[in-house]
Structure 1
Amino acid sequence: MTKLSQKDSLILTAIAFLTLVFSQLTDFAIDLSSDRNFTLSEASLQIAEDLEDELEIHYYHSSSLSHMPYAIERFSRRVAELLKQYETNSQGTIRIKIIDPFPGSNEERWALRYGVKPIKIKGSQEYFSGLVFLSGPKEAVIPFLDARESSQLEYQLSSQILSMQYASKPSLGIISSLPLLPTPEQGFYSENTPGPRWVIASHLEKRFTLKPLSLDINAIPESIQTLLIVHPLNMPRSTITAIQNYMAGGGRLVMFLDPLARFAPPDQPQGFTQSDLNELLKHWHIELVDQEVTGDLSLAQTINYQGASLSYPYFLVLDSEQMDSQTPVTQSLDQVMLFEPGHLVWRPHQKLNIRPLLQTSHQSGVMRAMLSPLSDPERLSLSFQGDNQKRSLALYVQGNFPFSPEVSNQTSALGAAVIIADVDLLADRHLIRDTVINGQRILVQENDNIPFIENAIDFVSGDTRLLDVRIPTSKPRTLSKLTAIEKQLHQDWRRDDRKLAIKRSKLLAQVKKLEASQTNGDRVTVDVGQRQEIQNLRQEIEALELERRQLRIRQQGFIDVIKARLIAINVLAMPLFLWFASTLWFSYKRIYINRKKPQLHTAS
């Protein structure tokens, strides 16, 4: 019995261990992942169930290719699984076709005709992975599904399925000093450089009819369902009044403002301009603080500067702790990136409900906007001073907005607005990573900036169906304990690196002073002692730079070691627990059975 119990214990432990492993490596029908990444959310299931018009989805996938990379093969299975879940829950409205467009076939010709774009893998093999949506005369395509954007897959699918229901797309009016919708004559400016269409504009036009409006108008057209204002400059009084009355009439608004926009309007190619719409905001008891750029040491992003890592406090990466967890705009987001944002101050309004969506920590501080273009990032970082204040970077405003003084005897309707104190988050380089694979341009989202913008527009417009669709970031899931340790190590590194950077700055100042003392007009006075002193100082500077690099390497090494240990503990904890529990159970069972056995007594 004892041998049998030990064998049962080992078998049970082995089964439990294999179940745990295979649940991570394969797509089980029972979703065991912590965020249910292999199961559609309730919101997506509801979108499928509510679909009225018949929809056919063709998934063009090169399944017959030999030696398919495992990551791509697994991703394609996940795409097929999610599509089947849409089909199952649509009550027959959605039909899925999985098609292999092998070379030279009619299927390949149709895929190319629809606009599905293959990429080359393993030499000359063309790999298709795209979707075509057909509903009556309407047709839409997702040219290529990138496995690296797996976390965005459900949102992509639900968004496209939802858009196929509309007879026409909702209209999004745009008032902007920046050419979000450039014409060929007007050209395009993105951070002072002509370039292709903005990524954010391409995303928005998939779901909205984008209608550019003049900076000088007397009224917002009634056809505009939602208004988008980006970096307003020199806006005339008539336009401000039109926006004020539009909001009082129940308007929906998303606004991007900035005290230091590095985007360059066509008529101001030097950039570094400040939005000026406080004339409107004051009626709502809100203000974009003039000429103040907001930083935060605890949220600082590390950048490369002169060959070294630099923690730049005005380049902010906000996580869930800095976001409003109660508002659908931000509650599903994980990471939003802002570059030299401003901050908004506000006071209570009798008819408006105002609440922050994005905030700094208590380690925030400000600098004058005019200093940033004139100073190098290291000097700005070293001079940063926190003042123990939390600052609002984005606000949600809802209620009965007031009419302009010219309008009388009018009752305002319920309106909604999201106001964001940063324009540069719209820049392509703050939204996506642009890579080229085998000659194909692939865009991968770097953060949740795009979902944040789309959420804001959806929420104020009243269409909340997509807000509950999960939008996790594309970064790998990590243990919460590791995240906390990583954050603490990063703060320790910033503190030590800051001390070394200050030393380096002082040494550089000494070098410049000594070099200046050797110059008298056009003549250079050579002093052997000073030359030696300068050489010694430069050697000290090089040693400090080396120490800073080594400090960064050590910090990353600590993180890697801790990560490996925590992952090992996380993977082994459940099997060890099951082994221990089963051993206790079978030991108890053996003791209990032995106690039940009749005792044999010898005759006296």
Structure 2
Amino acid sequence: MNLLQRRALTGTSLLVIALLFIASVMLVGVLFRGVRLDLTANQLYTVSDGTRAVVNQLDEPVQLYFYFSEQAAADIPHLRTYAQRVRELLEEIAAGSGGKVRLEVIDPEPFSEAEDRATAAGLQGVPLGNGQGSLFFGLAGTNSTDGAMAIPFFQPDKEAFLEYDVAKLINGLSGKEKPVIGMLSTLEIGPGFDPAARRVTDGAVVYGELKNLFEVKQVEKTVTSIDEEIELLMLVHPKGLSTDTLYAIDQFVMRGGRLIVFVDPHAEMEQAGQGVDPTQAMFESKSSNLDTLFKAWGIKFDPEQVVLDAELGLPIQSRPDRGPSPHLAILGLGVEQLNQNDVVSAQLEAVNMSTAGHFVVLDGATANWEALAQSSANSTTVATDRVRFLPDPDQLFNEFVPSKERYVLAGRLSGQLNTAFPDRSGDGHLSETREPANVILFADTDLLTDRLWVQVQQFFSQKVMNAFANNGDFIINAADNMVGSADLISVRTRPSSARPFDTVEALKRAADDRFRSKERELQAQLSETERKLSELQDNRSDQSSTLLTEEQRQALERFQDEKLRIRKELRQVQHQLNDDIQKLGTQLKFLNILGVPLVLTVIALVFALLRLRQRKEVQP
């Protein structure tokens, strides 16, 4: 075979290999179409089972329009990164929907028809100024029956809710009617009439918010059956309920109804009825409980105990001649006390409660119990009577000894539940839940009152509400979550796609702790020196002279020298922090630029040596 033939054979071989490669790629694309492998740490691109179930239950296709202003966000890198995250999630949902979810990505340029359509769909544009138009970053959805919903703007700080919000929008476009909530309350939280002022009252703000989002129907406390149309039953301060009413609530839960309960050891908003002696009303209990149902479900609530918390107590001014001081029974819960893994309580920053009780799981309980809100470890309980007849809140500090226990103030009960009335029978009686139950319990009713979370003012005959806590969000989240399908309820918060530099942050925190310690040391020395200087001045025989004595001058010089030394140490701490971060960066660069290639090279050399050894062993 001459040189020309060998070249032709080589060229033909390369062509055949190329054709085989292209054919194999096309074959793999056909055979494995839709197959994806998510290798991210938190499975960010894996759609949850709940979202898949919501999509699979769609009877007709849903059209989604994702609006993002690419050019307007050119100089906002963190927003572009999050937009890519949103788009990839939407594309993943659409790709796995089998055509039930259709996605269209739109860049609404300024003063275009696309921008007008985005505004008409309910999206919120952020004005950029300087005549650049608005930035849009939201989602609009429609169905075949002219139904429309929208997410006005995707907020990066709510990334944990991203999949839940999208699944909720898709579920809302499935054609279901407005959810019906049944409200059984022995407290006046809805609109009413004030006989003293002779005027109609609007009720609590949270009640009005529920009315805006759901169809709320009042349920009498003497009811013996719950209407089938009610999807969620809310019990607020359930006291004095008959056995037949408790049985109706029990069977409502057994047949799959959702339930939210607000009980309280001391409901401060409870008012005495007409004709009741005010003195007598002071000594009547203002507690509520569902002991019969709670016991059957494996939960205990003690109406004779109130939770006190020295870490969470809000400052209250109880007397005009004294400044604000912490009230151990009025609690201000923060992020650390709220479950960040449940969509109901995640992303909330502040929830206020007053004279709240707590829940305990009984031995042998079979249902799942998940805390939504807890006290800090610096807490304990006290008898309810001590709070009811407390003239001075500062007295709660007397004999206060923390139990080191975190008390559950609100929680979610889910799973299989048994009836609290096993002796009853008859047509339609159920001894256990048909499907996994979902119940949310709050150990406080006062969190519903306006005074603990919102200020309402009149501005030109219009109500202006300024929320200073997230009580309303807590309740609305719970109701919104509970009226959703079981699949939607299962869609919980997801981890953020942002991957912080934990090691760098740890270095910064360690250096910051050292820095703060030095600052405190400097401040302490400054205070001590000022005290000594003051003593020296007081002990001088000549008080009228403004000149420093020799002793004062030497003391001041010593302090100045010490101050310079400590400032030098502070700079050294900061330099050390920068050095540590630079060393870490150098190590990472080495691993990325040289480390990985070196490892691959070593593996290749080992493989080549093994192949060479095998060839030598084969040769005679």
SS in 2 for 1:81: helix
Deviations 1:435-480 (A, max 9, x none): xxxxx9999997994797269726xx87134414434589996859
Following superposition of structure 1 onto structure 2, how do residues 92-131 of structure 1 map, counting pairs within 5 Å?
92-122=99-129, 125-131=133-139
Amino acid at match of 2:165: Q
In 2, the alpha carbon distance for the partners of 1:433 and 1:478 equals 40
Aligned with 2:353 (options 321, 333, 339) = 339
Amino acid at match of 2:122: G
Q: Could you tell me whether the CA contact under 8 Å between 2:106 and 2:114 is conserved in 1?
A: yes
Q: Could you tell me whether the CA contact under 8 Å between 1:189 and 1:265 is conserved in 2?
A: no
Deviations 1:504-550 (A, max 9, x none): xxxxxxxxxxxxxxxxxxxxxxxxxxxxxxxxxxxxxxxxxxxxxxx
1:422 aligns with 444
Rate the CA distance shift 1:255–1:103 in 2: closer, same or farther, 3 A. Answer: same
Aligned with 1:80 (options 87, 96, 102) = 87
SS in 2 for 1:148: helix
Matched, 1:453 2:466: no
For structure 2, the residue ranges without an aligned partner over 5 or more in a row are 1-35, 194-198, 275-280, 318-322, 457-463, 517-573, 610-620
Rate the CA distance shift 1:162–1:444 in 2: closer, same or farther, 3 A. Answer: farther
Q: How much has 1:421 moved relative to structure 2? A: 1.8
Matched, 1:402 2:420: yes
In 1, the alpha carbon distance for the partners of 2:604 and 2:446 equals 69
Matched, 1:294 2:300: no
In 2, the alpha carbon distance for the partners of 1:486 and 1:375 equals 44
Q: How much has 1:86 moved relative to structure 2? A: 2.0
Q: How much has 1:142 moved relative to structure 2? A: 2.4
Report the structure number with the largest CA radius of gyration: 2
In 1, the alpha carbon distance for the partners of 2:580 and 2:202 equals 48
Rate the CA distance shift 1:589–1:76 in 2: closer, same or farther, 3 A. Answer: closer
Q: How much has 1:275 moved relative to structure 2? A: 4.8
In 1, the alpha carbon distance for the partners of 2:264 and 2:137 equals 39
Q: How much has 1:360 moved relative to structure 2? A: 5.9
Rate the CA distance shift 1:392–1:130 in 2: closer, same or farther, 3 A. Answer: closer
2:238 aligns with 232
Q: Could you tell me whether the CA contact under 8 Å between 1:249 and 1:413 is conserved in 2?
A: no
2:288 aligns with 276
Q: Could you tell me whether the CA contact under 8 Å between 1:482 and 1:562 is conserved in 2?
A: no
2:165 aligns with 156
2:149 aligns with 140
In 2, the alpha carbon distance for the partners of 1:329 and 1:122 equals 35
1:467 aligns with 490
In 2, the alpha carbon distance for the partners of 1:311 and 1:570 equals 47
TM-score, normalised to structure 2, is 0.57
SS in 1 for 2:487: coil
Rate the CA distance shift 1:100–1:475 in 2: closer, same or farther, 3 A. Answer: closer
Matched, 1:385 2:401: yes
Q: How much has 1:165 moved relative to structure 2? A: 2.0
Q: Could you tell me whether the CA contact under 8 Å between 1:61 and 1:129 is conserved in 2?
A: yes
For structure 1, the residue ranges without an aligned partner over 5 or more in a row are 1-28, 435-439, 494-559, 596-604
Matched, 1:366 2:389: no
Q: Could you tell me whether the CA contact under 8 Å between 2:161 and 2:494 is conserved in 1?
A: yes
Aligned with 2:98 (options 91, 107, 112) = 91
In 2, the alpha carbon distance for the partners of 1:433 and 1:82 equals 38
Amino acid at match of 1:136: S
Asked which structure has the greater RCO (Cα within 8 Å, sep 6+), the reply is 1
Rate the CA distance shift 1:98–1:250 in 2: closer, same or farther, 3 A. Answer: closer
Q: Percent identical across equivalent pairs?
A: 21
SS in 1 for 2:417: strand
Amino acid at match of 1:82: L
1:19 aligns with none
Amino acid at match of 1:339: M
Rate the CA distance shift 1:455–1:136 in 2: closer, same or farther, 3 A. Answer: closer
1:172 aligns with 181
Rate the CA distance shift 1:266–1:223 in 2: closer, same or farther, 3 A. Answer: farther
Range that drifts further, 152-161 or 142-151:
142-151
Rate the CA distance shift 1:570–1:155 in 2: closer, same or farther, 3 A. Answer: farther
Matched, 1:69 2:76: yes
Q: How much has 1:343 moved relative to structure 2? A: 1.2
Rate the CA distance shift 1:381–1:114 in 2: closer, same or farther, 3 A. Answer: farther
Q: Could you tell me whether the CA contact under 8 Å between 2:254 and 2:417 is conserved in 1?
A: no
Rate the CA distance shift 1:382–1:215 in 2: closer, same or farther, 3 A. Answer: same
In 1, the alpha carbon distance for the partners of 2:580 and 2:185 equals 48
Rate the CA distance shift 1:52–1:578 in 2: closer, same or farther, 3 A. Answer: same
Q: How much has 1:99 moved relative to structure 2? A: 3.3
In 1, the alpha carbon distance for the partners of 2:79 and 2:586 equals 28
Q: Could you tell me whether the CA contact under 8 Å between 1:117 and 1:128 is conserved in 2?
A: yes
Q: How much has 1:160 moved relative to structure 2? A: 1.2
Q: How much has 1:39 moved relative to structure 2? A: 5.5
Rate the CA distance shift 1:304–1:346 in 2: closer, same or farther, 3 A. Answer: closer
2:42 aligns with 35
Range that drifts further, 308-317 or 38-47:
308-317
In 2, the alpha carbon distance for the partners of 1:57 and 1:199 equals 27
Q: Could you tell me whether the CA contact under 8 Å between 2:360 and 2:408 is conserved in 1?
A: yes
Rate the CA distance shift 1:420–1:563 in 2: closer, same or farther, 3 A. Answer: farther
In 1, the alpha carbon distance for the partners of 2:497 and 2:239 equals 35
Q: Could you tell me whether the CA contact under 8 Å between 1:403 and 1:412 is conserved in 2?
A: no
Q: Could you tell me whether the CA contact under 8 Å between 2:210 and 2:476 is conserved in 1?
A: no
In 1, the alpha carbon distance for the partners of 2:577 and 2:262 equals 38
Rate the CA distance shift 1:283–1:442 in 2: closer, same or farther, 3 A. Answer: closer
Rate the CA distance shift 1:42–1:222 in 2: closer, same or farther, 3 A. Answer: closer
Q: Could you tell me whether the CA contact under 8 Å between 2:263 and 2:445 is conserved in 1?
A: yes
Amino acid at match of 1:276: S
In 2, the alpha carbon distance for the partners of 1:48 and 1:226 equals 23
Aligned with 2:261 (options 255, 267, 271) = 255
Rate the CA distance shift 1:70–1:392 in 2: closer, same or farther, 3 A. Answer: closer
SS in 2 for 1:464: helix
TM-score, normalised to structure 1, is 0.58
Amino acid at match of 1:165: S
Q: Could you tell me whether the CA contact under 8 Å between 1:51 and 1:90 is conserved in 2?
A: no
Rate the CA distance shift 1:565–1:289 in 2: closer, same or farther, 3 A. Answer: farther
Taking only aligned residues, the RMSD between alpha carbons, in angstroms, comes to: 5.9
In 1, the alpha carbon distance for the partners of 2:257 and 2:135 equals 46
Amino acid at match of 2:231: Q
Q: How much has 1:148 moved relative to structure 2? A: 3.0
SS in 2 for 1:365: strand
Aligned with 2:227 (options 204, 221, 228) = 221
Q: Could you tell me whether the CA contact under 8 Å between 2:161 and 2:343 is conserved in 1?
A: no
In 2, the alpha carbon distance for the partners of 1:249 and 1:174 equals 18
Q: How much has 1:389 moved relative to structure 2? A: 5.0
Following superposition of structure 1 onto structure 2, how do residues 503-514 of structure 1 map, counting pairs within 5 Å?
none
Q: How much has 1:162 moved relative to structure 2? A: 1.9
Range that drifts further, 181-190 or 170-179:
181-190
Q: Could you tell me whether the CA contact under 8 Å between 1:430 and 1:446 is conserved in 2?
A: no
Q: How much has 1:95 moved relative to structure 2? A: 1.8
Q: How much has 1:91 moved relative to structure 2? A: 1.9
1:541 aligns with none
